[in-house]
Structure 1
Amino acid sequence: MLRVALYNTVVFIGAFLLFQVQPMSAKALLPSFGGSYAVWGACMAFFQLVLLAGYALCHGVGRRLEGRVGARIYWYVLVLLLFAYPFPFAAMAEDPGGRWVVFEVIRRLAGTVGPPVLALSMISVMGQRWLSVSDLPGSREPHVLYAASNAGSLCGLLSYPLLFEPLLGLQDQQRVWWLLYMVMLVGCRFILPRQNGVRTPAAGTAPCDTAPERGRPGAWFVLSASGCALLLAVTNVLTLDVASIPFLWVLPLSVYLLSYVVTFKRHPWNPGWLNSLTGWAALAGLLLFLLGTLRLALPVMVAIPVHLAILFTGCLSVNDRLVGVKPSDPARLSGFYLWIAIGGLAGTIAVSWLIPLVTRSFVEYPLALAAVMGSLYLVRLDRDCHPDPRARYEGLTAIVWMALVLAAFRYLPGIVERAGDVQSAVLLVVLAVPVALAFRWALNHARWIVPVMLAVVGSARWMEQRGSGVSMVLEHRNYYGLYRIYDRDGVRFLQHGSTLHGRERMAADTASRPMAYYHPTTPIGSLLQDADRIGNSVGMIGLGTGALTAYLKAPQQIRIYEIDPDNVWIASIYFRSLAGAERNGATLHYIVGDGRLSVRREPPASLDCLVVDAFNSGSIPVHLMTVEAFADYRRVLKPAGLLLMHVSNRVLDLEPVVYRNAQSLGMAVCEQSNAGAVHPDAEESHWMALSADAGTIQSLMHDHGWWMRPVPDAVRPWTDDSIDLMSAVWRAR
């Protein structure tokens, strides 16, 4: 039993290290490559492709590595990889220049962490191969090591943001990483096969599994793809639509990994009562999708656990089915895991890369639920060879139910609205009845459940502006999220995901007066009206609606740094601040790209004022908040120039960090807020001002009432090497 525990330990540590090296690498790349979708998308694609390559190697040459000689060759390769210490993170952080970002990210990852990651991606499958040829009690069930692998991944995922990142700098993190690597290496030496073993088939099974429902690559593929698609769909909904909270993306991934742990362990956990709820969980997901279509939302603290429960139920059923169709011959397990990896990659490509290009809503959520239900129907463990004679009427009945759903969505809202003023909640209740009835019928006739779900999804487009009290102007989706522009009570709003980025009155005589965070009564609005203090050369990171430009006039010019190219045309076409600034004689320049990288390319001492407005949501670009980033800002400012930072945030206390960063660079700093005196057209906002010239800050405090405050000694400055995001979350509670 001790050796079996050692197998589990080695596989656990290998998976733990895999999930640790990914955020470490991304952290090293961030300062030089920025936070664009291309960068983190390339990182995600690289690690998935390397994992796939590792599984492919195990499948292709694994049989040669499971004997005594081959296993030792693999172990010697692991030993040789010690010469990769330390990871050359400094080289990864070099400026990529004009090279293609995606190619350069993948090239640097491949040349630094690539070889160790490839070797580690094989450890789980190789451990199972070695166990299967041993004489240990678990040799007939080597797949249980996959549970240990996912448990290691789960611990690696949770420990990095909660433990390693807050307490250790990047260099210390990799020292711990390599120490654990050596522990794994020693443990691996003791589980290597001692001789060229021969597998003994499990009792009652043939050496080669021939059951028609078992061992089919197509089944492994669709189950894995649907589970991964559901994971990413729920992640998108939670992080881009429900709430903008740091580390929120960790929760769905943790639930996904947990579903693998509990289903692949020696005694799988999937109670019948929970498995029977899968269909109802899919119905709940459909209703939540309709809720969003009608501009309704559950409270955040209710929505998050509900979405996670739907994800867990769906993934548990999918993974339980995967265990049921796994090959009984251990020699075929490597192919099983290879197809799981291929399916996961396909689900990722569909949800993360393709759907955002062709849709304008989070339609991947109901589609992923439909994929889960469809895969469970296609990969059944108890096929009935005697068809029900009533089945010939199912097609006609299904058509009737789908027609009922379509008619309900098309005509019921109009009938209800003619009865008087109606709220979205009423429409939801009215529509939920035919949807629930049709779904209930489909659950008893499984082959029709996917068509019924697709009928509901297709019909939902008729509901977008019903009962919400708003007039939708634009819905636009790209890799950075979902833009919604809508009019209500004479005001136009810009919402990006769950964050309101600005609003503007539509009346011609009030269009030039900024609202919300940029109203004249806010700290930034009051300051920008003082053109002499701001100067003629202004920079701004983060565009939004462009409301800040409404304060500019000739001969002022502004350089706007915006990472999302679509934000530029959205603000230009649907909001009037940018055009108003140009009419006032101001000159506007747009620089599309990561704000920090764009500022770094500007000549020294070229700006009188730099506005950084990128922190008013929970998912902040932390590389814009480090000491090194502040040094980049200071370099482009004139000696008495002003750095203005918008630090309003619901979940992060950023002010102490700004104080500490400024002190590290010898900059003076003060702050201002309009809390307690918020105009009806304004929002409460908090701004901080920094300058290399102490006199500039003293003048702000004297003329505009800005102030300073003491900072707790426990607060540390943020650097590219060390960021303590959890402490900022804790202080904001």
Structure 2
Amino acid sequence: MVKSENLRFAWGAGITILLSAFLLFQVQPVISKMILPWFGGSTAVWTTCMLFFQVMLVAGYAYAHGLSQLKSRQLQMMVHVALIIVAAITLPITPSERFKPTDGSQPTLRILLLLTLNIGLPFFVLSATGPLVQAWYAVRYPGRSPYRLYALSNIGSLGALVTYPFVFEPALDLPTQGALWSVVFLGFGLCCATLAVAVSRLSRVSNPAEVASDQAALASTSPTWRDRRHWLWMPALASVMLLAVTQHVCQDIVVVPFLWIAPLSLYLLSFIICFDRESWYRPRLFAWLGFLSVAWVSALILRYDIDALLENSGFDFKFSSIGGTVTMQIGSYLLLMFVLCMLCHGELVRRKPAAAYLTSFYLLVSVGGATGGLFVSLVCPLLFESYLELPLAVTAALVFSIVIIVGQILPWRSAAQLSAALLIGAGVGIFVKSQLAEYQRNVASFDAVHKIHRQTIAARRNFFGVLRVVRETRDKKPHDNQLNLFHGRTLHGIQFTDLKRQLLPTAYYNENSGVGLMMKKYLTDGPVKVSVIGLGVGTLAAYGRTGDRFDFYEINPEVERLANEYFTFLAKSPAKVQVIRGDATFRWKRN
């Protein structure tokens, strides 16, 4: 009978944790997709959602830690069951149309408020489940380690991420997804409440000798402040790398729906591997992989320099032919991120405390993750005009790897030490050169083949990304000098600086383009009204005539400022030009 009850509790704990983790990470793509069009479709929407999820995770872990400290298990049960009931009352999670923004101002705060009001309490309950159930498991089974349940929770999280784009998203519309999630949450609530009731019925140890023995054991295994610092900065670094690589891959390399799931899945996979079995993490192996990954990514940045070196050396091979492909770029950055996460989470597991300190351990880990999210989402846009968090994270990965490698090298023989030192020196040199080259490419560069000088004369960063105005000058063809507007690496507009050519439509708006041919056809009779989604530099205003009206819908206020400050398409157009801030679809519905 006792064995049967033990088995039921263990299965109940596993199912509850698995279900809570699945719901926790299933709601993230569901709610993110619901609000993505409302805020311009930028990758910053996902980054802000991640910030919310990480902060709520901290709140949930703090609640789990506080609740587990209560001496009365009956009180624990009553508080948690009551919270589950209140969370269930707030369902469903589908946001109302009233949360749609009317303009592009304060998007971060609006997203955080929307998420708090729509999924805040259910997400809070789900986030507290993992550490709370593990604490209950430790009470029910004093001699067993509860940490493998954390690996189980990450399996549930990974399952949610992988199944969403391939199973749920193609088969169900968003309202149905929200309704289904709410129904499953009710099932989870029932499982969790049943588990809480079972824990509340457990008897406490009352033997004074056993209590004294337990207290002495806890004192001897108490984590130090150094341990706690590691619990903070390691997950913070992994979080920064996750978000920085996600931004780079999804915005600077290629824009593909649900591509952000790949880095997050690898991030969770590192948790699964490290927490399931410590022997799967090999410090020396992953430290060298981290070092080599940084060196390889640095080589990709220097691919054209490597091409020139190979050509001068007589080799008929273009490194950029493989290093410049989208697949290679994405795969290399994802590998670098995964290896760093393995380093951070592997070293974290090596420092995990006894089960009695489990909830405080998870609390500090979540605080570290949220700190990384806050740094990328809120601090970096205020401090930097470009995505400097990625080179900072890569630098930290290089230093972390080298520190572990050096610790492993010291016992080696002198020849091995010298070889490793030379390899490390070469890798560091490649990394430093790549970062200098990237900086020069973003600030000032010279195209030796086409004899073009490029200089960034303005850079702005906000919620929607990084904008740069680049001046191109040509020594032999000064009439082709121009100003370009870039969003990340995407060209958003060109204007010649020569006064005679300033109002010529350029780039994909030139007179022979699809838009140009359409303008020639329809702008022949009387005045017309033209509505344009996206401003760019206002190139289409060059087609305007006296009496025409051109309305540009633009969600990013910095685009309008740069278009007016550095380009003249809007100011010199004969037509009446108006820039309307906000999402075009929403503004059209209002009008």
Which residue of the other structure, out of 327, 332, 352, is the alignment partner of 1:326?
352
- How has the CA–CA distance of structure 1 residues 88 and 240 changed in structure 2, closer, same or farther, with 3 Å as cutoff? closer
- How has the CA–CA distance of structure 1 residues 213 and 478 changed in structure 2, closer, same or farther, with 3 Å as cutoff? same
Of stretches 206-215 and 307-316 in structure 1, the one that deviates more from structure 2 is 206-215
- How has the CA–CA distance of structure 1 residues 331 and 375 changed in structure 2, closer, same or farther, with 3 Å as cutoff? farther
Aligned counterpart, 2:231: 220
- How has the CA–CA distance of structure 1 residues 441 and 532 changed in structure 2, closer, same or farther, with 3 Å as cutoff? closer
Pairing 1:121-520 to 2, within 5 Å after superposition: 121-135=127-141, 140-189=144-193, 191-192=195-196, 193=199, 194-197=201-204, 206-208=217-219, 210=221, 216-266=227-277, 268-271=279-282, 272-289=284-301, 298-327=324-353, 329-374=354-399, 440-441=424-425, 457=435, 461-462=439-440, 464-466=444-446, 470-474=452-456, 476-479=459-462, 480-484=464-468, 485=470, 487=472, 490=480, 492=482, 493-520=484-511
Cα distance between partner residues in 2 of 1:219 and 1:376: 15
- Cα distance, 1:32 vs structure 2: 5.9
Cα distance between partner residues in 1 of 2:127 and 2:262: 23
Cα pair 2:553 2:583 within 8 Å, conserved: yes
- Cα distance, 1:378 vs structure 2: 7.7
Of stretches 297-306 and 457-466 in structure 1, the one that deviates more from structure 2 is 457-466
Between Structure 1 and Structure 2, how many residues are aligned?
544
- Cα distance, 1:223 vs structure 2: 0.4
Cα pair 2:64 2:129 within 8 Å, conserved: no
Q: Which amino acid aligns with 1:14?
A: S
- Cα distance, 1:82 vs structure 2: 2.8
State the Cα RMSD in Å.
4.1
- Cα distance, 1:11 vs structure 2: 1.0
Aligned counterpart, 2:587: 598
Cα distance between partner residues in 1 of 2:138 and 2:405: 27
Cα distance between partner residues in 2 of 1:33 and 1:65: 46
Q: TM-score, normalised by structure 1?
A: 0.65
Aligned counterpart, 1:539: 531
- Cα distance, 1:176 vs structure 2: 1.9
- How has the CA–CA distance of structure 1 residues 34 and 524 changed in structure 2, closer, same or farther, with 3 Å as cutoff? closer
Q: TM-score, normalised by structure 2?
A: 0.79
Q: Which amino acid aligns with 1:496?
A: H
- Cα distance, 1:221 vs structure 2: 1.0
Gaps of 5+ in 1: 391-435, 444-448, 603-733
Is 1:578 equivalent to 2:565 in the alignment? no
Which residue of the other structure, out of 519, 523, 530, is the alignment partner of 1:528?
519
Aligned counterpart, 1:632: none
Encode CA deviations 1:411-456: one digit per residue, 9 max, x unaligned.
Answer: xxxxxxxxxxxxxxxxxxxxxxxxx98771499xxxxx8x997797
Greater helix share, structure number: 2
State the secondary structure of the residue aligned to 2:509. coil
- Cα distance, 1:461 vs structure 2: 3.5
Aligned counterpart, 2:314: none
- How has the CA–CA distance of structure 1 residues 586 and 513 changed in structure 2, closer, same or farther, with 3 Å as cutoff? same
Cα distance between partner residues in 2 of 1:202 and 1:466: 73
State the secondary structure of the residue aligned to 1:553. coil
Pairing 1:674-693 to 2, within 5 Å after superposition: none
- How has the CA–CA distance of structure 1 residues 563 and 127 changed in structure 2, closer, same or farther, with 3 Å as cutoff? same
Provide runs of 4+ in structure 1 moved above 6 Å.
36-39, 94-100, 199-203, 211-215, 292-297, 376-384, 436-439, 451-456
Encode CA deviations 1:499-549: one digit per residue, 9 max, x unaligned.
Answer: 333444555444433233222222321121232579432221101232211
- How has the CA–CA distance of structure 1 residues 119 and 354 changed in structure 2, closer, same or farther, with 3 Å as cutoff? same
Cα distance between partner residues in 2 of 1:156 and 1:486: 46
Cα distance between partner residues in 2 of 1:35 and 1:70: 42
Q: Which amino acid aligns with 2:152?
A: A
- How has the CA–CA distance of structure 1 residues 358 and 85 changed in structure 2, closer, same or farther, with 3 Å as cutoff? closer
Cα pair 1:8 1:148 within 8 Å, conserved: yes
Cα pair 1:321 1:379 within 8 Å, conserved: no
Is 1:552 equivalent to 2:534 in the alignment? no
Encode CA deviations 1:8-63: one digit per residue, 9 max, x unaligned.
Answer: 32112111112222333344445666657886665444332221111111222322
- Cα distance, 1:185 vs structure 2: 3.1
Cα distance between partner residues in 2 of 1:210 and 1:170: 49
Q: Which amino acid aligns with 1:230?
A: M
Cα distance between partner residues in 2 of 1:437 and 1:579: 60
- How has the CA–CA distance of structure 1 residues 64 and 372 changed in structure 2, closer, same or farther, with 3 Å as cutoff? farther
Cα distance between partner residues in 1 of 2:528 and 2:487: 30
Is 1:9 equivalent to 2:1 in the alignment? no
